[in-house]
Chains A and B, each alone.
Chain A
Amino acid sequence: MERALYIHIPFCVRKCLYCDFYSLSDLSLQDNYIDAVITEIKRIDDKKFKSVFIGGGTPTVLSNKNLEKLLKSLSKFQYLEFTVEANPGTLEKEKLILLKEYGVNRLSIGLQAVQDRILKKLGRIHSFNDFLENYEMARRVGFNNINVDLMFDIPGQGMDEWKETLDKIAEVNPEHLSCYSLIIEEGTPFYELYNSGQLNIADENMDREMYHYAVAFLKSKGFIHYEISNFALPGYECIHNLTYWDEEEYYGVGASAHSFIDKCRYYNVDDVKEYIKLIYNDEAKKEKIFISKKDEMSEFMILGLRKIKGVSKGLFKKRFNEDVYDVFGQEISKLIEQGLLKDDGENVFLTRRGLDVANQVFVKFIL
């Protein structure tokens, strides 16, 4: 089975107020960093991948010179899908052309909301108009598979603003949409604000209303709801992310990137300087966790159930040579009884209620 390849670019123009991913806004390290990443890429033996994904951070903050260097090092690989993440305000024409030239065939743009007032509150560097300009330019350059990230349950956003966001995005016809609800993470400025009562966030009921609205609205626009937070036009499901949800293997390159290779999970050191120092002696991998068959079965369920079509009983049997009911029968039956799971004969999947409280379901598959 072919693997996926992920490359992490932990640089941003500015860190958003809710973000707890590792990233730097000091871009001076990018030359050394890209050299280090290329060194790590060279060690990979695989020639053919299902997908390549350059994520971040904001990969498009790299200088065109560094970006080209990176893309060149990847040109020896074969793949079906090649995604680059971008934020509005960093996608000028030359960059788009460069990406296109080197075989990037999918863009993932972080927009979050269409109201400038809300974008400002989130600490984003762009306006809605910046997005529209970049988006149209990308179309003109020839990108015909674009994802847009949206967020709901954010401060200052009511149902009306959310509807407006979905309406305006639907008008520009992206092939793919991700709708995430804001999570207040420890260690972020939002966390401090939230704890001191200065963040006005919708309650759970409103959160669910927004979610259910998005599901219904996007379905009416022809999108397929294929994962808890992801929607795609037919044939445009994200191959790369499906790798994770199908519990398939992947390489993760760059600081803080995670890998799953030969049944082991690894991750690289977070710190960019540390990574640059260690990578030349191949010492950047921090931890190696062997995923036993039991772990793998557990992860297969937890990740697989994120997909709307759920876990295929046939695939489970094929992969583990055991019947899913022999392993998790008690849990599944109880969850079906509670109305959180359903079994249509082929697949076991989350019900509508199950989607709302998915963690309560997943937790039953933790060993």
Chain B
Amino acid sequence: MPSDRQKKIRNFCIIAHIDHGKSTLADRLIEKTGTLTQREMEDQVLDTMELEKERGITIKAQAIRLVHTTENGEEYILNLIDTPGHVDFNYEVSRSLAACEGALLVVDATQGIQAQTLANCYLALEHNLEIIPVINKIDLPSARPDEIKKEIEDVIGLDCSDAPLISAKVGLGIEDVLKAIVEKIPCPEGDEDAPLRALIFDSYYDSYKGVICYIRVKEGTIKKGMKIKLMASKKEYEVTEVGIFRPQYMEVAELKAGDVGYVCASIKNVRDARVGDTITEAEREAKEPLPGYRPAIPMVFSGFYPTDSAKYEELKEALEKLQLNDAALIFEPETSVALGFGFRCGFLGLLHMEIVQERLEREYNLDIVTTAPSVIYRITKTDGEVIELTNPTNMPSPTEIEFMEEPYVKATIITPSEYVGAVMDLCQNKRGIFKNMEYIETTRVMLHYEMPLNEIIYDFFDALKSRTKGYASLDYELIGYKESDLVKLDILLNGDPVDALSQIVPKERAYQRGRAICEKLKEIIPRQLFEIPIQAAIGSKIIARETVKALRKDVLAKCYGGDITRKKKLLEKQKEGKKRMKQIGTVEVPQEAFMAVLKVE
């Protein structure tokens, strides 16, 4: 039975497709409950990272405690947990959901259900959350709330008869949302006197407090001075501070079963307090951890190299700093003949990789060359040994390979029906195996495919968007490994193989791909003082060739009178451009070449 205290708590999150208004609704709830004054409000309060605001995505989970007074004067504590929305961070999302009893499902009244909404919604249903559908953007002329309600009922099976119709942007219907939260979402339960079990749903590194764990207390009580144990990492600490989010950290005496808050315990590294781990008491250990923990597993690997080799140590330090706050990022030193010293980094997905790259460039001012991302291939050798391959360069010679396997995903695509043909064609090209197709409504279709992860991490999402004028949405989950006929495709510049450009490709696509890559590189590599042959090879066999012709003319013949400064500026610009290129042997290769080789049809 819930205690009287627990009866006044609601823990919930918001599920939405990108741009359907999740952050705006959160802003309105914060405003309406008076948690922040108008003056303190800025747009997308909960997205604190510059990158999050810019891209309109949530990367790290956030939480905030709202105090809502109902019409009859009762005070409720509403803990809103803002979750990342991208498929790369699915596991983080699942932990945030596990910290809640309910979820608001925000659907855009003009766009309807999208693949991402659906994926997160199913995730919420798996966690037995009470889901409240909320129809947003009803102020728009093209809004069709009734159709969307029916769609939600048909596709997800949620009753939408009293779904709040709102416009988060103009602040319409926010009261109804608050009312629904209080009335429909169950209050938390759990024995406040039982041995402590608290779920970590995110963690941050703070240089003063150490790691700050965001927790949901499921059972028991946690307070300052308590000896705690993390059940997965098996490490013990003493609590230095517990508190709540207002949204800034506010210390409180204790957190009890049902509460959402934070705990600090002089933990040095986010790796020791991973998302999903259970905090218990060291003296009075809980019998079992909370279900669902798994360490984050990187799925995509890429080589990160400083453009200027002298910046190796700086890159290392920057990666270490990012890792303090990102338990999913892994890296180890790697050497490339072409690129020198760098790191092989593992990421949850391509978005995660892009974020890390962007942060290195922006926050640490590093120029980075990244190599083509690769999945983990599983190779069974003729001697029976099984190896996992994350860097194409290390692929054993074909004679040593019995067979190779690559990871596959189940992909769900929702698209307007007029683009079904284009989408199917694309999936076919990406080696997709068609599973089935359902109509969500007469004009929209949901397609299921099994597809190599490798094909998805390339330019699949961009291609999908461009073929459907941006209307299609995609979600995917890993389903395991399947055998594939794969070969290593090498690229030679000026006769020398460039290890950083090697890729693993399906055998039947190798020729086509080799040709396309050579053509692409010809476009990207600027003409230099000598002719540069570009070749694609499988083993010792050359399968494609292009040539970058030698530069014939590069001279300022014009007389600028005494304006030496202008002449110098032009030369300085030219020099700047050269600096951003990577010298490979005698050839200068622009940074983007290493990624662009992926983006060939």
Residues of chain A lying within 8 A (CB to CB) of residue B568: 299, 302, 366
**A183–B554 Cα gap in the complex (Å)?**
11
Q: Quick check: A241 and B559 within 8 Å, CB to CB?
A: yes
B287 on the A face (CB < 8 A)? no
Is A180 a contact of B557 with CB atoms below 8 Å? yes
Contact of B291 with A by CB under 8 A: no
Contacts of A302 in B (CB 8 A): 567-568, 571
Is B1 close to A, CB under 8 A? no
Those of B559-576 within 8 Å (CB) of chain A: 559, 561-565, 567-568, 570-572, 574-575
Asked if A360 CB lies within 8 Å of chain B CBs, one says yes
Which residues of A sit under 8 angstroms from B507, Cβ to Cβ?
Answer: none
13 residue pairs from A and B, CB less than 8 Å apart: A181-B558, A207-B553, A208-B553, A228-B555, A259-B562, A265-B564, A302-B567, A302-B568, A355-B555, A357-B553, A358-B555, A359-B574, A360-B529
What distance in Å separates the Cβ of B563 from its nearest Cβ neighbour in chain A? 5
Quick check: B552 and A204 within 8 Å, CB to CB?
Answer: yes
From A204, A299, A355, A360, contact of B564 by CB (8 A)? A299
CB distance from A221 to the nearest CB of B (A): 20
Q: Determine whether B551 belongs to the interface, using a CB cutoff of 8 Å to chain A.
A: yes
Whether B529 pairs with A338 at a CB distance below 8 angstroms is yes
Tell me whether A363 and B571 are in contact in the complex, defined as CB-CB below 8 angstroms, given that A180-B557, A183-B556 are known contacts. Answer: yes
Report the Cα distance A359→B555, complex, angstroms: 5
Interface centre among A250, A259, A362 (most CB of B within 10 A): A362
**Of A8, A229, A257, A267, which one neighbours B557 at CB under 8 angstroms?**
A229
Q: Are B572 and A267 in contact (CB-based, < 8 A)?
A: no
Any chain A CB within 8 A of the CB of B578?
Answer: yes
The answer to whether B559 touches A359 (Cβ under 8 A) is no
Q: DSSP majority for the B interface?
A: loop
Query: In the complex, which residues of chain B have a beta carbon less than 8 angstroms from the beta carbon of A204?
Result: 552-553
Number of A-B contacts defined by CB within 8 Å = 88
Task: Count chain B residues whose beta carbon lies closer than 8 angstroms to a beta carbon of A.
Answer: 23
Q: A299-B568, A357-B551 are in contact. List 20 more A-B contacts (CB 8 A).
A: A55-B561, A178-B559, A181-B557, A204-B552, A228-B555, A229-B557, A258-B564, A259-B562, A260-B562, A265-B564, A299-B564, A302-B571, A338-B529, A340-B529, A356-B552, A357-B529, A358-B556, A359-B571, A360-B554, A363-B574
Q: Which residues of B contact A299 (CB under 8 A)?
A: 564, 568
B570 neighbours in A (Cβ, 8 Å): 359
* Bound-state Cα–Cα, A265 to B564, Å: 9
Contact B565 A258 (CB under 8 A): yes
Distance between Cα atoms of A55 and B565 in the complex (Å): 18
CA distance A129 to B70 in the complex (A): 95
Determine the distance from Cα of A179 to Cα of B555 in the docked complex, in whole angstroms.
13
Known: A363-B571, A366-B568. A183 touches B558 (CB 8 A): yes
Does the CB pair A359–B557 fall under 8 Å?
no
A366 partner residues in chain B, CB cutoff 8 A = 568, 571-572, 575
Nearest A residue to B552 by beta-carbon distance?
Answer: A204
**Set of chain B residues within 8 Å of A205, measured between Cβ atoms:** 552
Q: In the complex, A357→B529 CA distance in Å?
A: 8
Task: Give Cα distance in the complex from A366 to B573, angstroms.
Answer: 10
Question: Which of A6, A183, A355, A363 touches B561 (beta carbons < 8 Å)?
Answer: A6
Select from chain A the residue with minimum beta-carbon distance to B530.
Answer: A338
- In chain B, what residue has the closest Cβ to A4? B562
CA distance A204 to B565 in the complex (A): 26
Given contacts A359-B574, A362-B571, contact A244 B554 (CB under 8 A): no
User: Closest 8 A-B residue pairs measured CB to CB?
Assistant: A258-B562, A204-B552, A358-B555, A357-B554, A359-B554, A204-B553, A229-B557, A181-B557
Partner of A289, one of B554, B556, B559, B565: B565
Tally A residues with Cβ within 8 Å of B.
39
Judging by beta carbons under 8 Å apart, are A358 and B572 in contact? no
Interface mask (B573-584 → A, CB under 8 Å = 1, otherwise 0)? 011001000000
Contacts of A8 in B (CB 8 A): 561
Which residue in chain A gives the minimum CB-CB distance to B556? A359
A303 interfacial contact with B, CB 8 Å = yes
Min Cβ gap B357→A in Å is 28
**In the complex, what distance in Å separates the CA atom of A289 from the CA atom of B568?**
13
CB distance from B525 to the nearest CB of A (A): 15
Chain B residues near A (Cβ < 8 Å): 529, 551-559, 561-565, 567-568, 570-572, 574-575, 578
A289 to B566, CA, bound (A): 13
Q: Is A252 an interface residue (CB 8 A)?
A: yes
Q: How distant is the Cα of A123 from the Cα of B301 in the complex, in angstroms? A: 58
Q: Which of B552, B558, B563, B571 contacts A267, CB < 8 Å? A: B563
Known A205-B552, A363-B578; contact A183-B557, beta-carbon cutoff 8 A: yes
Can you list, as one digit per residue, whether each of A330-367 has a CB less than 8 Å from chain B (1) or not (0)? Answer: 00000000101000000000000001111110110010
Residue in A178, A207, A258, A340 whose CB lies within 8 Å of B563: A258
Would A356 and B554 count as touching, CB distance under 8 A? yes
Chain A residues within an 8 Å CB radius of B562: 6, 244, 250, 252, 257-260
Q: Please report the C-alpha to C-alpha distance between residue A270 and residue B570 in the assembled complex, in whole angstroms.
A: 19
Q: How far is the CA of A229 from the CA of B563 in the complex (A)?
A: 17
B residues less than 8 Å from A289 (CB atoms): 565
The smallest beta-carbon distance between B304 and chain A, in angstroms, is 28
Task: Determine the distance from Cα of A238 to Cα of B325 in the docked complex, in whole angstroms.
Answer: 66
Q: Which residue of A lies closest to B551 (CB)?
A: A357
CB proximity of A340 to chain B, nearest CB, Å: 8
Q: A267-B565, A289-B565 are in contact. Are A360 and B559 (CB under 8 A)?
A: no
Q: How far is the CA of A49 from the CA of B568 in the complex (A)?
A: 26
Which one, A180, A207, A260, contacts B558 given CB within 8 A? A180
Q: How far is the CA of A366 from the CA of B575 in the complex (A)?
A: 8
Residue from B557, B561, B574 in contact with A258 in the complex, judged by beta carbons closer than 8 Å:
B561
CA distance A363 to B572 in the complex (A): 7
In the complex, the answer to whether B575 meets A363 with C-beta atoms within 8 Å is yes
Q: Taking the nearest CB of chain A, how far is it from the CB of B396, in angstroms? A: 39
A183 to B551, CA, bound (A): 17
Q: Report the Cα distance A265→B562, complex, angstroms.
A: 10
Contact indicator per residue, chain A 1-18, by CB within 8 Å of chain B (1) or not (0): 000001010000000000
Query: Considering the chains assembled together, what is the distance between the CA atoms of A179 and B558 in angstroms?
Result: 9
A267 to B553, CA, bound (A): 30
**B residues within 8 A CB of A260?**
562, 564
For A265, what are the chain B residues with a Cβ–Cβ distance below 8 Å? 564-565
Cα A340 to Cα B550 with chains together (Å): 14
Please tell me if the beta carbons of A208 and B552 are within 8 angstroms of each other in the complex: yes
Contacts of B575 in A (CB 8 A): 363, 366
Residues 225-243 of A, flagged 1 when their CB comes within 8 A of B and 0 if not, give 0001100000000000100
A244 CA to B567 CA, complexed, in Å: 12
Chain A nearest CB from B44 CB (Å) reads 38
